[in-house]
Structure 1
Amino acid sequence: MASSFKIEPRHWTLIGALALAAYACYVLIAPYIGSIVLAFIVSLLFFPLHDRIDHKLKSYPNLSAALSCTILTVMIIIPMIFVIGAILRQGITFFTGAYEWLSAGGAKDILSMPIVQTSLQSVDKWLPFDSIDPQDIISRVASTVSTLSSEMIGMSSQILGDVTGMFVNFLLMLFVLFFLLRDHDKIIQLLRHVSPLSRSQEDTLLDEVEKVAKSAVMGSFLTALAQGLVGGFAMWMAGFAGLFWGTMMGFASFIPVVGTALIWLPAAGYLLIIGQWEWAAFLVGWGVIVVGSVDNILRPLLMQGNSGMNTLLIFFSLIGGLQVYGLMGLVYGPIIFSLTLVLFRMYEAEFHNFLEKQDNS
């Protein structure tokens, strides 16, 4: 017969002191929590490759972890620096050229076209407020483009000026990643030891964290990457800066409902106005069929590990995570929702007899 454990007042004192100390530790590491969580996610994604390296260098755990971090840096970070630089250059070139085009009267030429004039007149009939002034549209667009161009230049200067901060955060992520890879088994063993849950419950929680973290990254970021690639290719084919607008499509894919249509639909409208209706039709067809298919097929396929969450829960976990935690909320949101569902199922299993009795009472 298993012995029962009775919690005494001194135990509550110890638990309270431990909780207070844990909160104090959290306050200390809160400024760096993003780098720590990123290192945790990268360790989950990168662990299979590290496991192979560690198997080859079984007697040298420090060397294998350092080699894994070095490979990760060479494979991902260094190429990313060059890509970001190219994106900023294309963005600055686009907005500068757009402002020059507006200043030279390009917008006036478009607004003077018969099809545009007819469309504006039709819209004026149905609008409940004052009629649309084409000149006001031109001045507003020129102001917006000028502001965006200045912001792009300022952003590039800010990125260059903030290299030190980015470098420090990256080094911190690598530092944490090194220990997560090297001491993976010890960390798991420690978590199991201090957890009051049963071994099966621990297995369920640990497996769910790993599965959801992977699927959230794969579902959100890889879907955005895929949409950015196929969308950027179509924009390049239609005569736009493919790398810049492909990146914008990747970011737009995180926006629920509208997504990448925020980019390719106005571009198609512009092509239609200037008379390139073939490329406009191409962009619309490509956006609906190809880019849309990537989102509708790839994202659910990659996020199927989210503890059986249906589409509605995935939707709210993503938009809620974005609202509360920013970009990292795309990972935090699904993890929080999934672990809540797992804990709820554990609750149902643990109190099954009581719940059955309540149902029958």
Structure 2
Amino acid sequence: MKALNFEKHPGRVILLLALCLSAYTSYSLISPYIEPVIIALIFTMLCHPLHSWINNRLKHRENVAAALTCTLITCVILLPMFFIFLAILNQAASYSKSVLAWIQAGGIEQLVAHPWVSQVLQLAREWLPVDVFDSAKINQDLMALASSSGKQALSLSAQFAGSISSFIFSFVLMLFVLFFTLRDYHKLTDFLRHAIPLSRSQEDSLLQEIQMVSKSALLGSFLTALCQGIVGGIGFWIVGIPGLFWGTIMAFASLIPVVGTALIWVPAALFLLLTGEWQWAAFLAVWGVLVVGSIDNFLRPVLMNNISSMNTLVIFLSLMGGIHAFGLMGLIYGPIIIATTFVLFHLYETEFKEFLNYQDKH
């Protein structure tokens, strides 16, 4: 590789410093919108084969092909989400009414009167300095919440409207970026290959690893969560609990490492057991362990096979650290950052092989 000759050309140092400063400033400008941009880039890698097929069918009319690909993505993602969301709202509203009716009928008192619950509460009162459960106080709080439901609904409606507006803006921005990245895919990849100061083989290794890990992280996390939410919702529907609403909650819980869907179906099974429906409680427990749990054990490794070279502990830590640093998007960012670090370390070992071997011998 040709040397950069910084000593003979000190102006290059100034140029690189100015480039780094302007790049950081540019990032600061777009950082509030970085998540839709990154999602668009990942969708570009996922949908580029489809876009290429459409583009060939349309005889290389790039703008029309990119617009058609974005339209298909909108129809596949946004429209089903809209109708499912309306159904979830309807189911959640009816379920909240039935829960309130159960509380007003003395459900809390009956639950506390259960022998198992009484024993647990008695032990808690003996070993803990405070009363951890006061049914009268809980009833009072719940009734107060019911009486102020109008204000609560107004507040939630305002928050919901803000969330929907933010989601629509992010989705439109993602489609806007996706259109141009699909249309100019080859120009962008050629520019990156030219701008990155690495050999062609090193660039291929780095870009290929980022592409594979991005696809695997997206498919492994979100498709697994989707499947677990669907299967978990079916189990809840079978036992008589609103499946669409709790299946959606279970899909989000699936993204939480370690506990996952058990955070939802375990309390539901315990509730059924304590209310005397032990057959349905046993069914839900078996369903959660064997059916819902098997999806996480078998489907996720298959979808994330492109990062199987990473140690299981490393994958787990990358997911946990990613969630802690970036929220749900950390499920994608974490594996990408760790995998990129591994690739760069491998390139370092290859580039400095002679020096490292010399160091080992002395």
Query: Which stretches in structure 1 are left out of the alignment for 5+ residues?
Result: none
Q: CA deviation at 1:161?
A: 4.8
Q: Could you tell me which residue of structure 2 aligns to residue 218 of structure 1?
A: 219
CA deviations 1:294-317 (Å, max 9, x no partner) are 111211221121272111111111
Q: Could you tell me which residue of structure 2 aligns to residue 105 of structure 1?
A: 106
Contact 2:88-2:245 at 8 Å conserved across structures = yes
Distance 2:301 2:339 in 1: 15
Q: Could you tell me which residue of structure 2 aligns to residue 266 of structure 1?
A: 267
SS in 1 for 2:307: coil
Paired residues for 1:225-236 under 5 Å: 225-236=226-237
Contact 2:108-2:139 at 8 Å conserved across structures = no
What amino acid is aligned across from residue 24 of structure 1 in structure 2? T
Q: Could you tell me which residue of structure 1 aligns to residue 30 of structure 2?
A: 29
Q: Could you tell me which residue of structure 1 aligns to residue 86 of structure 2?
A: 85
**Is the deviation greater in 62-71 or in 44-53?**
44-53
Contact 1:88-1:156 at 8 Å conserved across structures = no
Contact 2:112-2:135 at 8 Å conserved across structures = no
Distance 2:147 2:84 in 1: 24
What amino acid is aligned across from residue 297 of structure 1 in structure 2? F
What amino acid is aligned across from residue 54 of structure 1 in structure 2? N
Paired residues for 1:18-167 under 5 Å: 18-121=19-122, 124=125, 127-130=127-130, 133-135=133-135, 138-139=138-139, 142=142, 154-167=155-168
SS in 2 for 1:255: coil
CA deviations 1:164-195 (Å, max 9, x no partner) are 44333222111110011111011000111111
Q: Could you tell me which residue of structure 2 aligns to residue 171 of structure 1?
A: 172
What amino acid is aligned across from residue 66 of structure 1 in structure 2? A
Distance 1:114 1:164 in 2: 49
The answer to whether 1:282 aligns with 2:283 is yes
Q: CA deviation at 1:4?
A: 4.2
Query: Which stretches in structure 2 are left out of the alignment for 5+ residues?
Result: none
Distance 1:48 1:275 in 2: 54
Distance 2:342 2:248 in 1: 34
Distance 1:291-1:143 versus aligned 2 partners, 3 A rule: farther
SS in 2 for 1:312: helix
SS in 1 for 2:256: coil
Distance 2:155 2:259 in 1: 28
Q: Could you tell me which residue of structure 1 aligns to residue 189 of structure 2?
A: 188
Distance 1:151 1:250 in 2: 26
Distance 1:111-1:141 versus aligned 2 partners, 3 A rule: farther
Contact 2:108-2:135 at 8 Å conserved across structures = no
Distance 1:5 1:135 in 2: 75
Q: CA deviation at 1:320?
A: 1.1
Q: CA deviation at 1:159?
A: 2.7
Distance 1:152 1:207 in 2: 49
Q: CA deviation at 1:152?
A: 7.5
Q: CA deviation at 1:17?
A: 0.8
CA deviations 1:267-302 (Å, max 9, x no partner) are 111111111111100111111111111111211221
Q: CA deviation at 1:43?
A: 1.2
Count residues in correspondence.
359
Contact 2:218-2:332 at 8 Å conserved across structures = yes
The answer to whether 1:352 aligns with 2:339 is no
Distance 2:237 2:145 in 1: 21
Distance 1:274 1:306 in 2: 45
Contact 1:99-1:145 at 8 Å conserved across structures = no
Distance 1:225-1:17 versus aligned 2 partners, 3 A rule: same
**Is the deviation greater in 5-14 or in 139-148?**
139-148
Q: Could you tell me which residue of structure 2 aligns to residue 249 of structure 1?
A: 250
Q: Could you tell me which residue of structure 1 aligns to residue 240 of structure 2?
A: 239
Distance 1:121-1:71 versus aligned 2 partners, 3 A rule: same
TM-score (norm 2): 0.91
Distance 2:277 2:248 in 1: 24
Q: CA deviation at 1:353?
A: 0.6
Contact 1:92-1:152 at 8 Å conserved across structures = no
Distance 2:270 2:192 in 1: 56
Contact 1:92-1:153 at 8 Å conserved across structures = no
**Is the deviation greater in 211-220 or in 155-164?**
155-164
Q: CA deviation at 1:248?
A: 0.8
Distance 1:133-1:224 versus aligned 2 partners, 3 A rule: closer
What amino acid is aligned across from residue 158 of structure 1 in structure 2? Q
What amino acid is aligned across from residue 224 of structure 1 in structure 2? A
Distance 1:356-1:244 versus aligned 2 partners, 3 A rule: same
SS in 2 for 1:305: helix
What amino acid is aligned across from residue 54 of structure 2 in structure 1? I
Q: CA deviation at 1:76?
A: 1.2
Distance 1:266-1:152 versus aligned 2 partners, 3 A rule: farther
**Is the deviation greater in 234-243 or in 148-157?**
148-157
**Is the deviation greater in 208-217 or in 134-143?**
134-143
Distance 2:239 2:267 in 1: 13
Report percent identity of matched pairs: 48
Distance 2:326 2:45 in 1: 21
Q: CA deviation at 1:144?
A: 11
CA deviations 1:122-164 (Å, max 9, x no partner) are 5555x34356555257448837986998867744543335544
SS in 2 for 1:197: coil
Q: Could you tell me which residue of structure 1 aligns to residue 322 of structure 2?
A: 321
